[in-house]
Amino acid sequence: MQLINNTTTSHLSVLKGLLSNSDDVLIASPFCYPDFTEFADVVASSGVKRVQFVTTLKEDEVVGKIDTLRSFCHEMKRIDVEWKLMIDNKLHGKVYVFRKNGNAKAAIISSANLTRNGMELNHEWGMRIDEAQMIDEVEMEMLAGVEFQLTEEQVIAIMKQAHKVHPDGVAKVKPQVVDIANIVMPLKVADGVRIFIKPYGSSESKVFKGDFSHEKRMYFSKKFPRAVRIGDILISYAVGACNMFGAYRVTSKPIRDEYNNPRWPWYVEADCMTPSLANHKWEHANLRLTTIANKYAEKHNKPVTKRGKMNLNGINHGNDKIQLDDEYGRYLLSLLRSFDLR
C-alpha cells in the first residue's frame, strides 16, 4: 500500500508509472480533462490497449460536458485503443484500476479527479492498493453502478442536440437541461417491474454454450404465462450448465406458437439487456444460479423468491419461471450487468 499526494509527488506521475506496466485501465472520475489529447498521448506511449472510463452525464451538465466526452472518443480512436464510455450519475469516488493480461496489478482510490487540478495541482490524497481480490471487488462494484454505456454515435447525437437546444453553450445563471432519453436507454428497473428466473433448454436438450445475445423469443410451457407482462425482466439460465447467461426485457404479450415444441407453446418477445455477457462470455463466468441464491439468502437472511422462499429449488421441479423477490432480482440484475461490462 502506498500513499499518493500532489506535494512530494503527483497523481499523474504515479498514473504514468502504472500505465507503463498495464494493458488495460478502468477509470472512474466524475470530472475529467476538457480535452483528452495530452492524456491520450500518455496512454499511447504506455502501450495500454484498452481504456474504460466511467463518469457522469446528468441532464444539467450535458451542455458543459458533452464536448469533453466527444474528445475522449475521438482521442481514443486516434491512438487506436479499444475504449468504453460508461455513465454512473451517482458516481462521486475516483478510482483507477490497472490490469495486465487480465490480472489485477494495482488500483488507486483517491480524491483526485482525472483533471489537471486533480492530477497535479490540488491538495489531493489517495492510496495505491495491490491486493488482487480487493481490486476485483472494487471493479465489480464500480461496474455494477453503471447505468448505461455510450457509443460514439450516441455521444455525437447528444452533442448535436445540446448545440441545437443551447447554441450559446454553458449558461452561468440557471441549470440547462437537455433530455437525452431519446438517445440512450439506461438499464433501469422501473417501479412495478417484476423480475423472473427463466430456464432455457430442458433435461432432454441441455445447454452448455452458445450466443444468446440476439435471442428474441422466450418460451413457456403449456400453461398461459399470465404473470409475465410487457416491461418485466427475464433472467435466463442454461439448463445443463446451470449458469445464468443474460437478462431480457419483455416487449410483447404472450403469443401462442402452434409450430413449436408442443411442450413449450407460449412465448414472449424480448430484448437482450446484457448482449456482451450473452455472447459466449457467460460460458466462462461463475454465475451458477442456485449457488448465488443460497449465498445471498444465507448472508442477508432474506428470501430470494416473491413467495418468500430462501432458495430456488422450485426451478428443479419443472417450473418454467419463478418470480424473484424484488430486492434479490435487482441484485441479480446488477451482478449480470457488472459481468456484461467487463
pLDDT digits (tens, 9 = 90+) for 89-113: 999 999 999 999 999 999 999 999 9
Strands 50-55 and 82-87, by their bridges, are parallel
Of all residues in the chain, what percent carry a pLDDT higher than 90?
Answer: 71
pLDDT digits (tens, 9 = 90+) for 238-251: 999 999 999 999 99
pLDDT over 60 (residue 334): yes
pLDDT digits (tens, 9 = 90+) for 39-93: 999 999 998 999 999 999 998 899 889 999 999 999 999 999 999 999 999 999 9
pLDDT over 60 (residue 185): no
Contact call for residues 277 and 340 (beta carbons, < 8 A):
yes
pLDDT digits (tens, 9 = 90+) for 294-304: 999 999 999 99
Q: Please provide the DSSP assignment of 262-318 as one string.
A: TTS-EEEEEEES-HHHHBTGGGGS--BHHHHHHHHHHHH---SBTT--SS-GGGGGT
Q: What is the pLDDT of residue 172?
A: 52
Q: What is the pLDDT of residue 39?
A: 95
Q: Which amino acid does the sequence have at 330?
A: R
Using DSSP's 3-state secondary structure scheme, residue 101 falls into: coil
Return all residues near 319 (Cβ < 8 A) that are at least 6 apart.
199
Residue 163 — very low, low, confident or very high, per pLDDT cuts 50/70/90? confident
Q: What is the pLDDT of residue 264?
A: 81
Residue 196 — very low, low, confident or very high, per pLDDT cuts 50/70/90? very high
Q: Is the pTM of this model over 0.75?
A: no
Q: What is the pLDDT of residue 37?
A: 95
What gap in Å lies between CA 19 and CA 116, rounded to an integer? 17
Taking all residues of the chain, what is their mean pLDDT, rounded to a whole number? 90
What gap in Å lies between CA 191 and CA 178, rounded to an integer? 24
As a whole number, mean pLDDT of residues 306-334 equals 89
Q: What is the pLDDT of residue 175?
A: 63
As a whole number, mean pLDDT of residues 185-207 equals 82
Q: What is the pLDDT of residue 329?
A: 93
Place of cell 433448454: 201
Of residues 114, 112, 115, the one with CA closest to residue 127: 112
Cβ count near 81 (within 10 Å): 20
Return all residues near 83 (Cβ < 8 A) that are at least 6 apart.
50, 51, 52, 53, 72, 73, 76, 77
Q: What is the pLDDT of residue 124?
A: 95
Contact call for residues 127 and 108 (beta carbons, < 8 A):
yes
